[in-house]
């Protein structure tokens, strides 16, 4: 695998960066509250090391990002204006283009859109880790036309996540939860090849319960994925790996009242969190590990009644001596809510991207920077 050019390599190719126009693809896809204000500027701050490295050398930095999911046409709801305002405070004088997804050419990877992006540009930097698993125009296009490099954030993310794959320390534990079950089952399969055990909570566990023939009441699950889960459970035991499922669950009973169940839920019951026994068992697994990757909350933590499981796991992530990595927007938000985000080794800015990099060891955006697309 050829290596990916760094900012220093870009400077080597372009010479003096002073006055050079550098397009930086950032991931400014920030969460917005109901009034359209930025509720967390983590992703803007995460791009500053790259932006500052370039501006210190006199480059004219033009940043570009998508925000939300506009349908290929301008939508005031997803205007970059609030981001532009915050960026002006953090990095004065840095330009920010309008939402890339206001143009259908972005997601379609349209060559005409790529041509517009690189027009008048001397160099390109990809620092948008969270978007690098997509073969979109602004991610894979520019490296075909102008000297290109990865930014500091992308570099850090790739180092950490590929480090998990290539230099695992054992016991290596993956903790998975959240609601996007079908998106995440592919990574379960890939993780079975590198980890020693997988801990499963969140809504995800109910599809595994169903695969084991356990009644799940009205809990969220994906019927189409039950067979896949069966196969994954068989594959794990064939490989001598452990999949830990919760043996108690909290949620609401058929009357809508808070309740604690074992691992069998009666008709009308709904599971919204792992129970206290499972939270303690999961945290023991995390405490005994030497490397932990966590993606997806253990329950519906936005509701305080169902935050306990996620809080216990987050605390174990903070307390363990293991090298700890957290990926996923909601998992990162949960950590921040519990004020534990500084207590883990790495919080990834990419949910889907971190899973895909772990799964495949590569991303379309990285291939493009290596000149392979
Ligand atoms: P991440 O963003 O960390 O990858 P996901 O987006 O997959 O995580 O899932 C996060 C969402 O899953 C949260 O909004 C949480 O409320 C929800 N969730 C977790 N467990 C359950 C459950 N048992 N029932 C319903 N929703 C759940
Ligand atoms: Mg999410």
pLDDT confidence of 17, banded at 50, 70, 90?
very high
Task: Give the strand pairing for 172-176 and 197-200.
Answer: parallel
Active-site residue, from 123, 151, 217, 352: 352
pLDDT at 2: 66
296 C-alpha to ligand 2 centroid (Å): 7
Residue to mutate, 202, 250, 282, ligand 1, most ligand atoms under 8 Å from C-beta: 202
* 356 close to 363: Cβ distance less than 8 angstroms: yes
Which helix H or strand E contains 21, and what residues bound it? strand 21-25
pLDDT confidence of 180, banded at 50, 70, 90?
confident
DSSP state letter for 367: H
Decide if pLDDT at 1 tops 60: no
Q: Is 352 a catalytic residue?
A: yes
Angle 285-246-277 from CA coordinates, rounded to 5° = 75
Q: Is 290 a catalytic residue?
A: no
DSSP state letter for 61: E
Q: Is 43 a catalytic residue?
A: yes
**Protein residues within 5 Å, CB atom, of ion ligand 2:** 329-330
pLDDT at 316: 98
3-state secondary structure of 259: strand
What percentage of the chain exceeds 90 in pLDDT?
Answer: 92
179 C-alpha to ligand 2 centroid (Å): 8
Lookup: tokens for 247: 């043996």
304 C-alpha to ligand 2 centroid (Å): 18
* 98 close to 67: Cβ distance less than 8 angstroms: no
pLDDT confidence of 328, banded at 50, 70, 90?
confident
295 lines ligand 1 (CB under 6 A): yes
90 C-alpha to ligand 1 centroid (Å): 32
pLDDT at 197: 97
Asked if residue 117 has a cis previous peptide bond (ω within 30° of 0), the answer is no
Q: Which atom of ligand 1 is nearest to the CA of 273?
A: 23
299 lines ligand 1 (CB under 6 A): yes
Decide if pLDDT at 373 tops 80: no
């Amino acid at each position: 695998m050829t290596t990916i050019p760094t900012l220093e390599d870009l400077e080597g190719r372009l010479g003096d960066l002073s006055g050079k126009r550098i397009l930086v693809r950032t991931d400014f896809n920030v969460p917005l509250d109901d009034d359209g204000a930025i509720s967390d500027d983590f992703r803007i701050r995460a791009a500053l090391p790259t932006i500052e490295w370039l501006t210190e050398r006199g480059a004219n930095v033009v940043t570009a990002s998508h925000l939300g999911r506009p349908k290929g046409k301008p939508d005031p709801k997803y205007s970059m204006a609030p981001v532009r305002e915050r960026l002006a405070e953090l990095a004065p004088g840095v330009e920010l283009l309008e939402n890339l997804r206001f143009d259908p050419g972005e997601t379609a990877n349209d060559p005409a859109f790529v041509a517009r992006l690189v027009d008048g540009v001397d160099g390109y930097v990809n620092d948008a880790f969270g978007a690098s698993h997509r073969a979109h125009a602004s991610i894979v296009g520019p490296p075909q036309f102008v000297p290109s490099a990865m930014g500091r954030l992308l570099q850090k993310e790739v180092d950490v996540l590929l480090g998990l794959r290539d230099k695992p320390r054992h016991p290596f534990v993956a903790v998975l939860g959240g609601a996007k079950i079908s998106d995440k089952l592919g990574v379960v399969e890939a993780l079975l090849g590198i980890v020693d055990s997988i801990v499963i909570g969140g809504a995800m566990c109910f599809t595994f319960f169903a695969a084991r023939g356990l009644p799940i009441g009205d809990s969220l699950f994906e019927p189409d994925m039950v067979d896949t889960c069966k196969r994954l459970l068989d594959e794990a035991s064939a490989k001598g790996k452990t999949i830990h499922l919760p043996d108690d669950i909290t949620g609401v009973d058929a009357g809508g009242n808070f309740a604690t169940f074992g691992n069998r839920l009666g008709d009308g019951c709904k599971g919204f969190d792992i129970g206290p026994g499972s939270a303690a068992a999961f945290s023991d697994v995390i405490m005994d590990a030497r490397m932990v990757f966590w993606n997806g909350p253990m329950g519906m933590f936005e509701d305080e009644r169902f935050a306990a499981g996620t809080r216990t796991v987050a605390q174990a992530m903070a307390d363990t001596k293991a090298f700890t990595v957290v990926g996923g927007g909601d998992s990162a938000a949960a950590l921040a809510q519990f004020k534990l985000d500084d207590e883990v080794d790495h919080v990834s800015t990419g949910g889907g991207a971190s899973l895909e990099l772990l799964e495949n060891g590569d991303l379309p955006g990285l291939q493009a920077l290596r000149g392979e697309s």
